[in-house]
Amino acid sequence: MLQREGYIPVWLESGLLDLYYNGFCNSVLWQLFHYVPLQLDGWQRVQEHQTLQMQWGAYQQANDRFGEVVLAVYQPGDMVWVQDYHLMLLPSILKNAVPRAKVGWFLHTPFPSSEIYRTLPVREDVLRATLRADLIGFHTYDYARHFISSCTRILGLEGTPEGVEDNGSVARVAAFPIGIDPERFAQALETEEVQMNIAKLLNRYAGRKVMLGVDRLDMIKGIPQKLLAFEKFLHEHPEWRDKVLLVQIAVPSRTDVPEYQKLRSMVHEIVGRINGAFGTLTYVPIHHLDRQLSFHELCALYAVTDVALITSLRDGMNLVSYEYVACQADNAGVLVLSEFAGAAQSLGAGSILVNPWNINDVAAAIEDALTMSEEERRERHRQNYMHVATHTAQTWADTFISELNDTHIEADLRLRHTPPELDFAEVRSLGAGVLGICLLACCSRYVWLRCLSTCMDPGRHKHC
């Protein structure tokens, strides 16, 4: 069925898939890009180093497989848009086979500072392969700047306002903030199903302020920090007890990984402690769900929420913030947003920005959000909604594709004006008189000659 819609499968054996996806992609690249350093204790054992080598080999092999499938269906003039850290070698594979191919690459996670990235053992290979793309895109200017900095510090290449230059070839690097389809949420809010859910929620939470967290159960989402901040808020503001509650949706992920199992246990322990300390027979401070809601259930919950709490420790963008804004036309709820989420650079003006590591900061932001005047709430929401309505997912895609077309045209023009490489053997074979006549007749190239080092093989006369 997917093939009828234009999808083409790439088949990977289970062993290769595990080493590639769970291994190098998620255990190495994903962690490093989210500022989680490689484990020091693992490097005390030779076996761990060998495992990394196997994962890297699987990553190369998987990228080769994708390249084979793409090249099998590629036709001249096609555009190839490569997505995310799983396929950072693919631009090089495609360009080696089809040098004039139009190739773009976009990263959906953060790109770390060069000090973090340089710890990757295969740092040069990954950078050089990615740089073969005509256009390299990131969510924010910070991520783009970090990438260019890594190229200059690790590869010794020149960073320019356009991107990265390597021997006259320029890989353009730019920011393309992704968005959502706000119209989809607006239409959903008008449906009978969502309106019924809204009525039920308003009746259930009547007389109380509702705060909401919607996160994947992941180490970088900052769920424990959010819960601890709410606990501190209830400690310091007893007048708000029984008047505010937090609905936390924690969508399970990687349930077979021990670290994630520990995280789930930690979250459950904190939730139980807070509910036990501040709950009553008629009031539970935290409503915690370990499951994913349907789209219509989520839209209704967004609509009735007074404060959204997003405390990511590191996030490429975080589109939950966009979805919340899209569903708040009537309520004009307050968005409390981590400064470490990519969305902070887009929605920062209309949000309360917080450092999620600072529990006092987040607790104070909760108080500010709950006591904010309606006039300020509506003005902040207006600013955020303007951005969400303008920078949609379709706009993101259209802008990237347009820029990739323009970048490819500019590269072609630059290539036409680049003179061919000088054939050293041919020049050396010319006599001095003939060479002088050739230089006088040449009008498109200027050759600077030095007696010894120019006309001799540089490999045999390094002292010259």
Question: For the chain, how many residues are written?
Answer: 464
Whether the CB-CB separation of 240 and 233 falls below 8 Å is answered with yes
Judge contact between 354 and 365, C-beta under 8 A.
yes
**Tokens 């054996």 sit at which residue?**
13
- The whole-angstrom separation of Cα 63 and Cα 66 is 5
- Three-class secondary structure of residue 161 per DSSP: coil
Task: Report residue 303: phi and psi, to 5°.
Answer: -65, -35
Q: Distance (Å, rounded) from C-alpha 324 to C-alpha 321?
A: 5
Spatial distance between the Cα atoms of 43 and 82, rounded to a whole number of angstroms: 32
CA dihedral 123, 124, 126, 129 (to 10 degrees): 170
Q: Which residues are catalytic?
A: 108, 315
d(CA 151, CA 147): 6
Tokens 């021997």 -> residue: 167
Amino acid at 265: S
Closest to 96 measured CA to CA, from 61, 121, 122, 131: 131
Which secondary structure element, helix H or strand E, spans residue 432, and what is its range? helix 432-441
